[in-house]
């Protein structure tokens, strides 16, 4: 009698242990099977807005919608390197998240996309690269005032007119000097 009970309990314990082990092993396995596909622009240029797309599906093939994807771009400036946040996107019903991004440097861009799958406890990332060609100047330095119409030409016009009038006055003085040789009229000659 006792031996039978002991055997049954041992079998049950083993079953429970195997069951727990299976479940324990299976849980992450379920999450780590999210299918990820990225779609990077093939020909982008500085200043053009390009989509950086990521596609998330469960292992069963169902799209993973409503998941926030955070995009980081590897950047380097003044000897400091790192990943900088460039945007966020949420996967839609088709499981696709797309960030519209305007590249600002040339060369190889390395994008890291982080997402937290539902049920998972750690953030997962995927890295993709794309190339960017050169473009035109996007930001310009303004510097100074520029009001159309109010330009130095207008100032010179006003100033020139004044000085021309002064010049005409000087001609009057010349006329006075030249008339100095003329005879003096008798008394009683009227003015102007």
Partner 1 sequence: MATLSGWQERLEETALAPVRRTSSRFWALVAAEVAILGWGLYAYSFQLRDGLVVTGMRDRISWGLYIATFVFFIGISHAGTLISAILRVSQARWRTPVTRIAEFITVVALICGAAFVIIDLGRPDRVLFVFIYGRWQSPIIWDVLAITTYLTASIVYLFVPMIPDLALFRDRLKGRTSRWRAWLYRTLAIGWNGNAGQRRSLAAAIGVLMILIMPIAVSVHTVVSWIFAMTLRVPWNSALFGAFFVAGAIFSGIAILIVVMAILRRAYKLHEYVTEKQFLYLGYLLAAFAAIMIYANINELLIHGYKLEEGAGFHLRQLFLNDFAPLFWFYLIGGLFGPIAIVLFPATRNTRGIVAAAILVTVAMWIERYVIVVSGLRVPLMPYAPADYAPTWVEWSILAGGLALFALLITLFTKLFPIIAVWEVAEDHEATVSAFEVTSPAVPEMPAPSGGTYS
Partner 2 sequence: MPPERAATPESSPRPWAATIPRRRLLRMLGLGALSVAPMSVLPELLRTVGPGRPVEPVEGSRKPATTRDGRIRQWTMIIDLRSCDGCQSVGGPPRCTAACIEGHLAPEPMEWIEVYEQELAGDGTRFVPTPCQQCQNPPCVNVCPVGATFSTPEGTVLIDQDRCIGCRICMAACPYDRRFFNWGEPPIPPAALLADYSAEHQVPARKGTVMKCDLCPDMARAGTLPYCVQGCPNDAIYYGDLEEDIATNGRVVVAASRFLAENDAFRQREELGTKPRVYYIPGHGEAVGRDVLSPGRAPTEWPWTEIVDGGVTWQR
Element containing residue 153 per DSSP (H, E): helix 152-178
Interacting residue with partner 1 among 26, 60, 152, 157 (CB under 8 A): 152
Residue 187 near partner 2 by CB under 8 A: yes
Contact pattern for partner 2 over residues 129 through 168, marking x by CB under 8 A? ----xxxxxxxxxxxxxx----xxx--x--xx--x--xx-
Site for partner 2 in 24-43 (CB under 8 A): none
Q: Which does 139 bind (CB under 5 to 8 A by kind): partner 1, partner 2, none?
A: partner 2
The tally of CA atoms less than 13 A away on the side-chain side of residue 55 is 9
- Asked whether 90 and 97 are in contact (CB, 8 A), the reply is yes
Q: CB of 141: closest distance to partner 1 in angstroms?
A: 17
Residue 60 near partner 1 by CB under 8 A: no
Q: Which does 143 bind (CB under 5 to 8 A by kind): partner 1, partner 2, none?
A: partner 2
Number of Cβ within a 10 Å radius of residue 13: 10
Residue 173 near partner 1 by CB under 8 A: yes
| Beta strand ranges found along 58-123 (DSSP E) | 68-77, 80-90, 96-101, 107-115
Q: Which value, in Å, is the radius of gyration of the alpha carbons in the chain?
A: 43
């Amino acid at each position: 009698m006792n031996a039978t009970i002991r055997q049954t309990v041992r079998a049950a314990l083993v079953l429970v242990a195997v069951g727990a082990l299976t479940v324990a092993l299976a849980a992450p396995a379920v999450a780590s099977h999210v299918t990820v596909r990225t779609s990077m622009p093939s020909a982008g240029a500085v200043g053009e807005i390009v989509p950086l797309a990521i596609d998330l599906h469960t292992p069963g093939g169902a799209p993973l919608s409503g998941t926030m994807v955070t995009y980081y771009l590897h950047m380097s400036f003044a000897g400091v390197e790192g990943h900088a946040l460039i945007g966020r996107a949420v996967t839609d019903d088709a499981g696709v998240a797309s960030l519209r991004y305007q590249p600002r440097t040339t060369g190889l861009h390395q994008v890291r996309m982080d997402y937290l799958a539902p049920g998972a406890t750690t953030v997962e990332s995927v890295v993709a690269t794309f190339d960017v060609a050169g473009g035109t100047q996007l930001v310009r330095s303004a510097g100074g005032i520029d009001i159309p119409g109010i330009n130095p030409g207008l100032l010179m016009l006003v100033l020139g007119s004044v000085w021309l009038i002064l010049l005409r006055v000087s001609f009057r003085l010349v006329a006075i000097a030249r008339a100095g040789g003329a005879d003096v009229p008798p008394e009683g000659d009227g003015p102007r």
